């Protein structure tokens, strides 16, 4: 009996010593990982700020088949939250407690497991850098006694377990963000009538590859001239393609802004006035980066060919820019409308290829 008593006391002493060791073991943790995404800062911030987007890049989403998500009525900004249930990883929720646009996001993470309920502070930092946006994702908190006890019998610590998950999430965030920025759509809206009107413009010639760069300065010049001379600006900016020589990579084009009435400019004025007639056009819409414009133009001309429409030889095609890239930073949201003037006379082609009736 004495031996059993001594053995019991030894076990008890061991348990007490172990409990004291676990209790005094530092349970504080802070895990932080960063990556740089080649995207505008607001685009990255908005991707993280909306919890609905987390379904696409959350590091635990693909690894947990039984995950059931529930979103609050508000999914972005302060007060937004979502919760989950899973037998594999346990239940939990995350709530945004603070969101400073294009700067920081603070969140409260709650995890319910067999070891009890644990709360952690999650934070995001966004910094504009030369390569795009540096985004930092961090989590900090303190482990409960049961969590420290559980990890005492594993080969890795809580930090070692979480760090690769955060790094994986950031890598997925980068891929998803870049993929969304690359998305675009083209729609040939068909034949319509463009209202035309008076406009102010400036004209230049350049390599086709330089058009996007040069037109920004041209729009600035026209807008500044109109503002300095109290000329009203109406509608969206546009570019008229006066001549297009793809073989020699040259183009002559005019950048303009519409105005309500005719404006007479001095002979030496760098900005001139013009009049666009009301005309029948084929309209094509591109939503996405300007680098997809060539494909949009090709689809527009294919539409003309398939529908036996003739481009008007003495009128010039033009583009209207419905969004401002300096304000709408995500290229996936840029909207450009293409207009090709077409003749009212359509050519009817019958079985005899040598006979055409106009």
| Per-residue pLDDT tens over the stretch 8-25 | 444 434 434 344 434 444
Residue 280, class by beta-carbon neighbours within 10 Å (0-12 exposed, 13-18 middle, 19+ buried)?
middle
- Any idea what the CATH number is for the domain that residue 236 is in? 3.20.80.10
In the predicted model, what is the mean pLDDT of residues 308-313? 93
Q: Does residue 16 fall inside a structural domain?
A: no
More confident residue, 353 or 197: 197
Encoding tokens for residue 268? Answer: 């030496």
Residue % of the chain over a pLDDT of 90:
66
Residue 222 and residue 200 in contact, taking contact as beta carbons nearer than 8 Å? yes
Tell me the per-residue pLDDT of 161-220, one tens digit each, with 9 for 90 and over. 678 889 999 999 999 999 999 999 999 999 999 998 999 999 999 999 999 899 999 999
Q: What is the pTM of this model?
A: 0.79
What integer best gives the mean pLDDT of the chain? 85
What are φ and ψ of residue 49, in 5° steps? -70, -20
Q: Does residue 2 fall inside a structural domain?
A: no
In the predicted model, what is the mean pLDDT of residues 272-299? 96
Residue 72 and residue 81 in contact, taking contact as beta carbons nearer than 8 Å? yes
Whether 202 and 276 share a structural domain: yes
Tell me the per-residue pLDDT of 140-173, one tens digit each, with 9 for 90 and over. 876 654 454 444 444 455 566 678 889 999 999 9
Whether 244 and 267 share a structural domain: yes
- Any idea what the CATH number is for the domain that residue 154 is in? 3.30.530.20
In what helix (H) or strand (E) does residue 179 lie, and over which residues does it extend?
Answer: helix 158-182
What angle (nearest 5°) sits at the alpha carbon of residue 184, between those of residues 181 and 185? 160
Half-sphere exposure of 179 (CA within 13 A, CB side): 9
Whether 127 and 239 share a structural domain: no
Q: Does residue 13 fall inside a structural domain?
A: no
In the predicted model, what is the mean pLDDT of residues 37-48? 96
- Quickly count: other Cβ atoms within 10 Å of residue 131's Cβ: 10
Q: Which of 146, 168, 150 is nearest to 31 (CA)?
A: 168
In the predicted model, what is the mean pLDDT of residues 286-308? 96
Write the Ramachandran bin of 229: left for phi over 0, alpha for psi from -120 to 50, otherwise beta: alpha
Encoding tokens for residue 148? Answer: 């420290």
- b (16+ CB within 10 A) / e for 2-40: eeeeeeeeeeeeeeeeeeeebeeeebebebebebbbebb
User: Which pLDDT value is given to residue 184?
Assistant: 97
Domain limit, last residue, from 182, 212, 247:
182
What are φ and ψ of residue 241, in 5° steps? -95, 100
Whether 193 and 334 share a structural domain: yes
141-145, 323-327, 333-337: least confidently modelled range: 141-145
Domain limit, last residue, from 155, 182, 209:
182
The Cα–Cα gap between 175 and 179 comes to: 6
Number of compact structural domains in the chain? 2
pLDDT reading at 357 higher than 50: no
User: Which pLDDT value is given to residue 87?
Assistant: 79
Question: pLDDT confidence of 35, banded at 50, 70, 90?
Answer: very high
Whether 88 and 190 share a structural domain: no
22-26, 324-328, 335-339: least confidently modelled range: 22-26
Whether 86 and 105 share a structural domain: yes
Residue 174, class by beta-carbon neighbours within 10 Å (0-12 exposed, 13-18 middle, 19+ buried)?
buried
What are φ and ψ of residue 278, in 5° steps? -65, 130
Termini Cα distance of the chain:
118
Q: Does residue 167 fall inside a structural domain?
A: yes
pLDDT reading at 350 higher than 80: no
Residue 264's domain comprises 186-349
In the predicted model, what is the mean pLDDT of residues 54-79? 86
- Quickly count: other Cβ atoms within 10 Å of residue 179's Cβ: 11
Whether 52 and 160 share a structural domain: yes
Q: Does residue 234 fall inside a structural domain?
A: yes
Q: How far is CA 183 from CA 125, 174, 178, 289, 299, in A?
A: 26, 15, 9, 8, 17
Q: Which of 257, 192, 191 is nearest to 229 (CA)?
A: 257
The Cα–Cα gap between 303 and 257 comes to: 28
Whether 303 and 286 share a structural domain: yes
Q: How many residues does the chain have?
A: 358
Whether 92 and 201 share a structural domain: no
In the predicted model, what is the mean pLDDT of residues 254-276? 93
Tell me the per-residue pLDDT of 240-262, one tens digit each, with 9 for 90 and over. 999 999 899 999 999 999 999 99
In the predicted model, what is the mean pLDDT of residues 44-55? 96
The Cα–Cα gap between 132 and 113 comes to: 38
User: Which pLDDT value is given to residue 152?
Assistant: 46
Whether 254 and 314 share a structural domain: yes
Q: Does residue 1 fall inside a structural domain?
A: no
User: Which pLDDT value is given to residue 140?
Assistant: 87
User: Which pLDDT value is given to residue 30?
Assistant: 81
What are the residues facing 128 on neighbouring strands? 133
Whether 110 and 163 share a structural domain: yes
Whether 204 and 142 share a structural domain: no
Q: Does residue 168 fall inside a structural domain?
A: yes
Q: Does residue 95 fall inside a structural domain?
A: yes
In the predicted model, what is the mean pLDDT of residues 100-107? 96
Domain limit, last residue, from 148, 182, 216:
182
The Cα–Cα gap between 144 and 129 comes to: 38
């Amino acid at each position: 009996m004495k031996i059993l008593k001594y053995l019991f006391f030894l076990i008890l002493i061991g348990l007490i010593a172990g409990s004291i060791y676990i209790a005094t073991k530092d349970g504080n943790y802070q895990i932080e990982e960063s990556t740089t995404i080649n995207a505008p800062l607001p685009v990255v911030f908005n991707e993280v700020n909306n919890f609905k987007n987390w379904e696409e890049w959350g590091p635990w989403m693909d690894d947990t088949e039984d995950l059931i998500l529930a979103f609050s009525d508000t999914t972005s900004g302060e007060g937004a939250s979502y919760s989950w249930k899973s037998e594999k990883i346990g239940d939990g929720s995350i709530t945004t407690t603070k969101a400073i646009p294009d700067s920081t996001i603070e969140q409260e993470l709650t995890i319910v497991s067999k070891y009890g309920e644990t709360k952690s502070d999650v934070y995001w930092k966004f910094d504009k850098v030369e390569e795009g946006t540096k985004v930092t994702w961090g989590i900090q908190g303190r482990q409960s006694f049961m969590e420290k006890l559980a990890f005492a019998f594993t080969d890795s610590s809580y930090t070692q377990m979480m760090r690769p998950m955060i790094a994986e999430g950031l890598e997925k965030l980068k891929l998803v963000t870049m993929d969304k920025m690359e998305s675009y759509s083209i729609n040939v809206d068909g034949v319509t009538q463009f209202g035309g009107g008076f406009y102010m413009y400036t004209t230049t010639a350049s390599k086709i590859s330089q058009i996007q760069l040069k037109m920004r300065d041209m729009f600035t010049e026209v807008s500044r001239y109109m503002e300095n001379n109290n000329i009203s600006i109406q509608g969206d900016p546009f570019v008229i393609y006066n001549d297009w020589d793809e073989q020699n990579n040259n183009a002559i084009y005019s950048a303009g802004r519409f105005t309500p009435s005719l404006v007479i400019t001095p002979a030496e004025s760098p900005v001139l006035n013009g009049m666009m007639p009301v005309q029948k056009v084929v309209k094509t819409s591109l939503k996405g980066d300007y680098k997809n414009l060539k494909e949009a133009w090709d689809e527009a001309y294919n539409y003309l060919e398939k529908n036996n429409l003739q481009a008007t030889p003495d009128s010039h095609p033009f583009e209207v820019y419905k969004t401002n890239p300096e304000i709408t930073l995500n290229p996936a949201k840029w909207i450009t409308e293409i207009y090709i003037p077409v003749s009212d006379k359509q050519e009817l082609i019958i079985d005899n290829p040598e006979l055409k009736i106009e």
